[in-house]
A and B are shown apart, each in its own frame.
Chain A
Amino acid sequence: MADDDRRTEFVLPYSSACPAAVDQSNCIQLAHGEGGRLMRQLLKERIAPTLQAAINEDAARISAMKGDWAVTTDSFVVSPLFFPGGNIGSLAVYGTVNDLSVAGADPIAITLSLIIEEGLSFQLLDEVLSSVARTANECGVRVVAGDTKVVPRGAVDKLFITTTGVGQYRPASHLQCQQIQSGDLLLISGPIGQHGMAVLAAREKLHMTPEPISDCGNLRIVCATLHNQLGEDLRAMRDATRGGVSAVLQEWSEASGTTMQLYENQLPVTAETRGMCELLGLDPLYVANEGTFVAAVAPSVFEKALEVMREFSISSRACAIGKVIDKISSPVVIERMLGTLHPIDDPAGAPLPRIC
Chain B
Amino acid sequence: MKYVDDFRNPEQARKLVEQIRRRATQRWVLMDVCGGQTHSLMRYGIEAALADCVELIHGPGCPVCVTPSDAIDAAQYLALQPGVILASFGDMLRVPGSQQTLMNIRARGGEVRFVYSPIDAIELAKQNPNSHVVFFAVGFETTAPATALAILHAKKLGLENFSVLASHVRVLPAMEALLQDSECRIQAFLAAGHVCTVTGYQQYEQLIQRFQIPIVIAGFEPLDLLQAIWEAVGMLESELPSIVNCYARSVRPAGNQQAQATVDEVYEIADQAWRGFGVIPHGGLKIRQQYRHFDASKRFKFEQVMPLASSMGHDICMSAEVMSGRIKPPQCPYFGVQCTTEHPLGAPMVSSEGACAAYMLYHLRGTSIS
Residues of chain A touching chain B, judged by Cβ–Cβ distance below 8 Å, are 204, 265, 271, 274-275, 278, 281, 328-330, 333, 336-343, 345, 348-349, 351
The 8 closest A-B pairs by CB, nearest first: A340-B45, A329-B366, A348-B341, A338-B45, A329-B365, A351-B90, A342-B362, A337-B10
CB within 8 A of A351: which of B48, B114, B360? B114
Number of A-B contacts defined by CB within 8 Å: 63
B363 contacts A342, C-beta separation under 8 Å? yes
User: Using an 8 Å CB-CB cutoff, how does the interface string of B1-18 with A read, 1 for contact, 0 for none?
Assistant: 100100010100110010
Chosen A-B contacts, 19 in total, with CB atoms closer than 8 Å, are A275-B1, A328-B364, A329-B365, A329-B366, A330-B364, A336-B44, A336-B45, A337-B8, A338-B17, A338-B46, A338-B48, A340-B45, A341-B364, A342-B42, A342-B362, A343-B363, A343-B365, A349-B342, A351-B114
Q: Which residue of B lies closest to A347 (CB)?
A: B341
CA A257 to CA B114, docked complex, whole Å: 39
B222 contacts A351, C-beta separation under 8 Å? no
CB neighbours (8 Å) of A271 from chain B are 1
Shortest C-beta distance, B269 to chain A (Å), equals 30
B361 contacts A343, C-beta separation under 8 Å? yes
B85 on the interface (CB 8 Å rule)?
no
A337 contacts B1, C-beta separation under 8 Å? no
Main secondary structure of the interface of B (DSSP, over half): helix
CB within 8 A of B365: which of A281, A330, A339? A330
Q: Which of B1-43 contact A (CB under 8 A)?
A: 1, 4, 8, 10, 13-14, 17, 42-43
User: Of residues B45, B114, B222, B341, which shows the largest number of chain A Cβ atoms within 10 Å of its Cβ?
Assistant: B45
A275-B1, A338-B45, A338-B49 in contact; A345/B10 too (CB < 8 A)?
no
Shortest C-beta distance, B124 to chain A (Å), equals 14
CA A243 to CA B297, docked complex, whole Å: 40
CA A278 to CA B46, docked complex, whole Å: 19
A337-B45, A339-B45, A351-B90 in contact; A328/B366 too (CB < 8 A)?
yes
Additional pairs, 14, CB under 8 Å, beyond known A278-B4, A337-B222, A338-B44: A204-B116, A271-B1, A274-B4, A328-B364, A329-B366, A337-B8, A337-B45, A338-B14, A338-B17, A338-B48, A338-B49, A340-B364, A343-B361, A351-B93
A265 contacts B342, C-beta separation under 8 Å? no
CB within 8 A of A333: which of B1, B42, B43, B364? B364
Shortest C-beta distance, B281 to chain A (Å), equals 33
B43 contacts A342, C-beta separation under 8 Å? yes
A329 contacts B45, C-beta separation under 8 Å? no
User: Of residues A278, A330, A348, which shows the largest number of chain B Cβ atoms within 10 Å of its Cβ?
Assistant: A348
CA A341 to CA B368, docked complex, whole Å: 12
B101 on the interface (CB 8 Å rule)?
no
Shortest C-beta distance, B330 to chain A (Å), equals 12
Shortest C-beta distance, B323 to chain A (Å), equals 21
CA A333 to CA B341, docked complex, whole Å: 17
